Amino acid sequence: MEIKQGVIALLSSKYSAFFITSMLFLLFSMPTKGIVKGMVSSGVKVNGYLDKMAHFVAFATWSFCWQFVFKDYLQTFLIGIVYGILLEVWQDKLPGKYRRTFSWYDGLADGLGVIMGLLTYYIIQLF
């Protein structure tokens, strides 16, 4: 039980949630050329679905962690949606060499990820 309580304490820390938020910001601010080059060299097939899956997983993780802090599904959902859209706007404003653009599909993947993170949190709370 001590391990479970330690994990919950770590996840309930706003510092852990801020860390994840900062990591998402940094990852989604990286030039796509570097991301694609690293993925190709590691043998990962790069396509649009992989990008959407990355958005989905990132925001599922984000919402799961923030739900431990907020403990309010609606608040976590709304802030997650707004954060995802703001990241897309930010990417669109980056210089052209970054090759980042606004994508509603990425925003949709972010939103679905938020829902999945909240659903995961809800299921875990049942046990």
Question: Is the distance from CB of 69 to CB of 117 less than 8 angstroms?
Answer: no
pLDDT band for 74, please (50, 70, 90 cuts).
very high
- Domain boundaries along the sequence of the chain: 2-126
Q: Give 73: exposed, middle or buried? Use CB within 10 Å, 0-12, 13-18, 19+.
A: middle
Q: What's the whole-model pTM score?
A: 0.81
Contact 104, 89 (CB under 8 A): no
Q: What is the DSSP string of 60-91?
A: HHHHHHHHHHH--HHHHHHHHHHHHHHHHHHH
Q: Compute the average pLDDT of residues 58-72.
A: 94
